[in-house]
Amino acid sequence: MRIILASGSPRRRELLTSLGLAFEVFKPDVDESHSEREEPAGLCSRLSRLKAEAGVRAFPGSLVISADTIVVIDGRILGKPLDHEDARGMLRTLQGREHEVMTGLSVGLDGKITTHVERTLVRFRALSEAEIEEYASSGECDDKAGAYAVQGKGSLLVEGITGDYFNVVGLPVCRLGLMLHDFGINILTGSH
């Protein structure tokens, strides 16, 4: 079966490749704006579903995987930083505290699309202003929800994780395996 990853994320590509899946990449054009009143779980679920719908339309008969990851603290959504100052502000907000990473994960084939929101708690250690500046200047913050990459130098900021580590990277692989199983794909055996 042809599998389409409806995401431009290099981390998601790496994770799918590590699972041994053969897939093609499709970057859906989806408006990711949201209102201040939209609940975080609803936002990542809606965006993931929109990406899956675009993939299903573009590749009929193919299985489509899409995801959207956000960082939430005090009910506030931290998206990708706009610039260096925005990244520093996000890191100041997260330092010494716990936040939630949510990924809306969708799997679609023909007329059926299933969506699940995976949640993981992440606790940052206390950071000095110099550490915040150094990490914000590293470039690793760019294009990352919450201005950090747990799989890179950002791991030095994380004191603990409760839940799926891969969700924090951007693709909850355990949940994906369960969802794909519902579509007749067993990653462990390689059958589909």
Provide the CATH number for the domain around residue 21: 3.90.950.10
Catalytic residues: 68
Assess if residue 167 is contained within a domain. Answer: yes
If one counts the domains in the chain, the total is: 1
Closest-CA residue to 91 (of 100, 78, 101): 78
Q: What is the pLDDT of residue 158?
A: 97
Helix (H, G, I), strand (E, B) or coil at 145: helix
Assess if residue 187 is contained within a domain. Answer: no
Please list, in sequence order, all residues whose beta carbon lies within 8 angstroms of the beta carbon of residue 18, skipping any fewer than 6 positions away.
none
- Global model pTM greater than 0.85: yes
Q: What is the pLDDT of residue 191?
A: 64
Please list, in sequence order, all residues whose beta carbon lies within 8 angstroms of the beta carbon of residue 117, skipping any fewer than 6 positions away.
41, 44, 45, 102, 103, 104, 105
Percent of the chain with pLDDT over 70: 98
Residues of 119-139 as b/e, b for ≥16 C-beta within 10 angstroms? bbebebeebeeeebeebbeee
pLDDT tens for each residue of 90-119: 999 999 999 999 999 999 998 899 999 999
Assess if residue 189 is contained within a domain. Answer: no
Domain that holds residue 133: 3-182
Q: What is the pLDDT of residue 112?
A: 93
Q: What is the pLDDT of residue 143?
A: 84
Element (H, E) at 164: none
